[in-house]
Amino acid sequence: MKVVTDARELPSACAFVPTMGALHAGHASLFKLAKKYSADVVASIFVNPLQFESEEDLSTYPRTPEIDIEIAASSGVTHLWLPMQAEIYPEGFRKLFAGPMGERYEGKSRAGHFDGVLTVVGRLFDLVQPKLAIFGEKDFQQLQLIKTIAGDVEIVTAPTIREADGVAMSSRNTRLTPEGRVAAQVVYKALSQSKSEVELREILATEPAFTLDYADYIDENTFLHAQADTRAVRAIVAGWINGVRLIDNVPMGMRA
């Protein structure tokens, strides 16, 4: 694996997996999937300041550079790109806006978050020029919004990778206390066992350590509230444990 800091050293028409580091088995699954599409697998690590709500949240985001290099190298990455902020955001760069879909649910709770996500992904695509990019379903609203700006870049969707107890893998999980980590199991329990929005919220309410932000059934193509005739329904949940934000979702046609 080659570690580079300049996008001009990257292979063209690669399979691309953008990340913010703090890599784990979920990221490794994306890298391995990318290898099935291309001999050249580029992963980037860039903690994007534009998508954080506060300086505190940005400063506490986990950073594990030595582990990141080890995971990337062992999971099929051929080029690990560690860009500097000046390369991503040169003077006069163009900011993208997520629009109405980006103002719902996660976007409503985190004003400007998806504008920051789309801006950085747009810049990464411009610099890398990949033939395809891989994103996981865990950040489902993000995934759907990225599809709207992808242009000629094919977006490959990868399933959420979970721990044995059902908790969705996330870099933020490392900030949970041991008790909080156990409490986090309620999220997937609610998603996988509920048969209505009311039941979804009732199961979440059984865990006192979980502070609810939203729990809903939505049309996964529009992120509007699901109606009786909605064909692609997805259950989505977000909240906090130990001050750590947790988000998750499942397609209703594939519940456990």
Give strand ranges (E) for 11-94.
15-19, 41-45, 79-81
pLDDT in tens, 39-87: 999 999 999 999 998 898 899 999 999 999 999 999 999 999 999 999 9
Whether 79 is a known active-site residue: answer no
Of 24, 27, 79, 113, the catalytic one is: 27
In a domain, 166, yes or no: no
pLDDT at 54: 86
State whether 145 and 25 are in the same domain. Answer: yes
pLDDT at 56: 87
Which CATH number does the domain housing residue 241 bear? 3.30.1300.10
State whether 42 and 150 are in the same domain. Answer: yes
pLDDT at 255: 45
In a domain, 23, yes or no: yes
Residue type, 144: Q
Confidence of residue 166 (pLDDT cuts 50, 70, 90): very high
In a domain, 58, yes or no: yes
State whether 29 and 140 are in the same domain. Answer: yes
Domain that holds residue 201: 171-249
State whether 122 and 196 are in the same domain. Answer: no
In a domain, 101, yes or no: yes
DSSP secondary structure, 187-220, as one string: HHHHHHH-SSHHHHHHHHTT-TTPEEEEEEEEET
As for how many domains the chain has, the answer is 2
Q: How far is Cα 229 from Cα 60, in angstroms, rounded to an integer?
A: 43
In a domain, 255, yes or no: no
Contact between 9 and 86 (Cβ < 8 Å):
no
State whether 152 and 175 are in the same domain. Answer: no
pTM as predicted: 0.94
State whether 245 and 210 are in the same domain. Answer: yes
State whether 38 and 137 are in the same domain. Answer: yes
**Mean pLDDT value across residues 158-174:** 96
State whether 41 and 102 are in the same domain. Answer: yes
State whether 124 and 16 are in the same domain. Answer: yes
Q: Which two tokens stand for residue 24?
A: 């784990």
How far is CA 199 from each of CA 25, 67, 184, 186, 194, rounded to the nearest angstrom?
Answer: 31, 40, 17, 13, 5
Question: Residue 119 phi/psi, 5° resolution?
Answer: -65, -45
pLDDT in tens, 176-190: 999 999 999 999 999
